[in-house]
Chain A
Amino acid sequence: MRVNVTVNGESRRADNVWEGESLLYVLRERLGLPGSKNACEQGECGSCTVDLDGVPACACLVAAGQAEGREVVTVEGLADGEALDPVQEAFVDRGAVQCGFCTPGLLVAAHDLIERVPDPSDVEIREALAGNLCRCTGYEKILDAVRDAAARKAVR
């Protein structure tokens, strides 16, 4: 089948998509956007989190066909050209990135949180990111980064 989807503001088309391919597979293997990660492909780790019509979703659980005609923002779409989004800057500056495999999903989820709740409390941050596993950092620096990102957004 053919799938048409707007990804990071650009309309894209994927041909010869199999029934059963996920949006994650289409993004990574057909559209050349490997930023969203494939850690569990079971909807458990959040590494593949993308923004689907304004709502964070696990791309591994979305069938490619379900994405037809919808708008997707991936980690590749967060930066504005060379300029990183404040969430991206904060993750780098606060040492919230180690192996970085969880990072794209966390960035999309954190970005969404701050859009909705500009000044989140720690409990709110923890709740919003509870679906994103990170095996490396122990989360402390991720919390720092999200607090910092919120502060950076507030000044901009």
Chain B
Amino acid sequence: MSAPARSPQELHDTIAGGIGESPLRPDGTLKVRGEFAYSSDLWHEDMLWGATLRSPHPHARIVRLDVSRALAQPGVHAVLTHEDVPGENVYGLKFQDTPALAADLVRYQGEPIAILAADHPEIARQALKEIVVEYDVLEPITDPERAAHDDTLPKLHPGGNLVRHQRIVKGDPAATADVVVSGVYEIGMQDQAFLGPESGLAVPAEDGGVDLYLATQWLHVDQRQTAKALGLPLEKVRLTLSGVGGAFGGREDLSMQIHSCMLALRTGRPVKMSYNRLESFFGHVHRHPAKMYYEHGATRDGKLVYVRAKLYFDGGAYASKTPVVVGNGTTLSVGPYDVPNAHIEGWGVYTNNPTCGAMRGLGAVQPTYAYESQMDKLAAALDMDPAELRIRNALSEGSTVVTGQVVDFPAPVAELVQRVRDLPLPPEPTGARDIRELPGGASNTTHGEGVVRGVGYGVTIKNISYAEGLDDYSTARVRLEVLGGEPVAMVHTAAAEVGQGLVTLQQQIARTELGVTRVSVHPADTSVGDAGSSSASRQTYVTGGAVRNACRAVAEAVCARLGIASEGMTLTGGKVVAADGEVVADLAELLGDTAIEETREFHHRPTYPLDPETGQGDAHVQYGFSAHRAVVDVDLELGLVKVVQLDCAQDVGKAMNPDAVVAQIQGGSAQGLGLAVMEEILVQDGKVRNPSFTDYLIPTILDMPPMRVDVLERPDPHAPYGVRGVGEPPTISATPAIANAIRAATGLELLRVPIRPEHITGV
């Protein structure tokens, strides 16, 4: 069978602009015309619609499962259960613990139990109701702290309820200090809330394999997990990226991949699956809620002496990225500060709550809210300016972090805090105010009376790329040929463009390295080597590095063809130019109707696992740093918050595309604002109470204040072009800045985010 009628595009649109410039996106015009094919837009003649039956219970045993009535419905072509999984009915990113379809036990509300394919989505939805499942409902385990320590609880998995425990000990863990502050902080469950639904189209192939067109963050990891469940060799499960409507970590775990392929292979017809918003809330993993016990000790002049912390991360039903969340959460637990002594413990546990996994800022969001709350508390105890306290303790190049790793690259933390502090504040309100700019807005709840203003800071450290010894790499294939008399480069990687602008960056690198104007980007698919995930702020670093390496190999091959050494030669303006400026050859003439194609990988420098006992080790490749300052107005009577201004300073090493960098910082900050004041999946007894955009609130254009963004460029000598991952830090530091500003305005403790009106009014 052929590719779908609506399928991924090659991106030819190119606008001049190399590294450090801000050319426009090659997919921009398609997107504004409505012609860009997202995964939910894919269409194939003859296609069926897939649908999923999910458990209404968070914890239950399946005692009977009967699909015969559903299968008998007119228009239904297949109904499949765990018995129909052709290969191994288990997958997982870190631990293989997740069934593709539940067999006997369901561990969360929404766990997939059966799938079917029908002629029309409505037939599919109706047929789901004809599937008979009898459950023996069990008591759900919902308290992560208990799950970590109480061995009398039922075991949700053979190994027990603990996913990972990590201890980190630095210096004297029992150190004492003059001034001590402590607090217990909680963070709710945030959702990625990407707009494009989980969707894709599986097309059965003549060789008995399947072609899957889909939205994902990592094609190869999906391919490996899907092939294993299908019992097929890798080369028979081919994945192609279609348009992705945002991801933010929520597309790292499988959703419809195995299911759509199973249905396509069974029916012999293309099968499209597309979740609606309700199903999307159940169909992807969320950000780990956490409970965090913190104690900070400092000298009277404001130098940190020690940090002690216990962190509990609720992983929900399956492991997903929980091991990494514990690793990041503990290694980043003291923040971007120099702390001589620390004793940190982190637990990630299984419960019957929704599964939690990757989300932007993975594992760093939770402790940052807690330690930044502590920093303000400490500043108050010391009667010191909160920004000043942060500057006094800021990590810098040469510092040793809590794992004993030496920071051997620039770490301008103090400067970032100074910069946000020095940005002009919005004018203090005087006289009559436009109610639309007050808390409550056009609902006219106040005209300014009862409204108080506060300013707060948030600073963070986030590891970039995969850590703890993983060989984290990317692959790029670059072809140089002459089309229409002009040299043209084609870049082919498997790296997922999820909205962040990677396609633009690939063109910029190829233009710069190969000195050509026209660069097209091939659709990402599994016919080229692994690129790893579009997550952990790593793609510019790692895939950027791979594209650079492949381009340089192409340039070398060009010189080899000329029979000259590539030393000192550059490719510029379609010519090969020597160091003295002499034009050695014209690319178009040299290539004629031949092409030069090279494939290269980029591996970042090695990292190492943490010592299981002491948590010491060079676990991370690089850190990103950002600082926010928030200004808020709070209506004390109604507990309503209006963020008046949110400013950010971030070091990006090298701004490869300055406009895109600013855009990432603005978008990330909005997600941090959401977590501070509105975004939470409410879970009660393991059940989600607000799985819709009506009840799960994400910031609108009325909620986002104006932002100033101050970008620093302190190149990392170890990174390609000196880059430093950009995507995650702004999400992380925005939340505590807003929480601290609300505290400053109200004088309340506020030990939990999101901060809701009732936390402020106390009713």
Contacts and interface: CB of A to CB of B under 8 A. Distances in A.
Contacts of A114: none
A103 B31 contact: yes
B35 A35 contact: yes
Given A39-B197, A139-B701, A143-B701, A99 B33 contact: no
10 contacts: A18-B120, A42-B694, A95-B22, A97-B25, A98-B499, A99-B245, A101-B195, A135-B192, A135-B667, A139-B701
A104 B34 contact: yes
B557 interface: no
A5 interface: no
Interface string A125-156: 11101111111111111110000000000000
A141 B663 contact: yes
A92 B663 contact: no
Nearest to A21: B122
Closest 3 CB pairs of A and B: A35-B34, A99-B499, A101-B245
Contacts of A95: 22, 24-25, 659-660, 663
Given A92-B24, A127-B702, A133-B700, A100 B31 contact: yes
Contact of B34 (A21, A38, A75, A141): A75
The prevalent SS among residues of A at the interface is loop
Contact of B195 (A34, A45, A127): A45
B442 interface: yes
A84 interface: yes
B313 to A, nearest CB: 24
A138 B669 contact: yes
Nearest to A99: B499
Contacts of B33: 35, 75-76, 79, 84, 88
Contacts of A34: 6, 34, 37-38, 40-41, 43
B80 to A, nearest CB: 24
A117 interface: no
Contact of A135 (B193, B276, B694, B701): B193
Given A41-B276, A100-B36, A139 B704 contact: yes
Contact of A99 (B29, B194, B698): B194
Contact of A142 (B246, B274, B701, B707): B701
Nearest to A137: B667
A20 interface: yes
A101 B701 contact: no
Interface string A47-64: 100000000000000000
B248 to A, nearest CB: 7
Contacts of A88: 32-33
A101 B24 contact: no
Nearest to A36: B34
A133 B702 contact: no
B280 to A, nearest CB: 9
Interface of A: 18, 20-21, 28-29, 32-42, 44-45, 47, 74-76, 79, 84, 88-89, 91-93, 95, 97-104, 107, 123, 125-127, 129-143
Contacts of B523: none
Given A18-B122, A140-B707, A100 B37 contact: no
A104 to B, nearest CB: 5
A81 to B, nearest CB: 11
Contacts of B34: 33-36, 74-76, 104
Contact of A97 (B28, B37, B434, B694): B28
B499 A136 contact: yes
B127 to A, nearest CB: 14
A18 B120 CA distance: 10
Contacts of B35: 35, 76
A98 B277 contact: no
B693 A139 contact: no
Contacts of A33: 34
Contacts of B704: 138-140
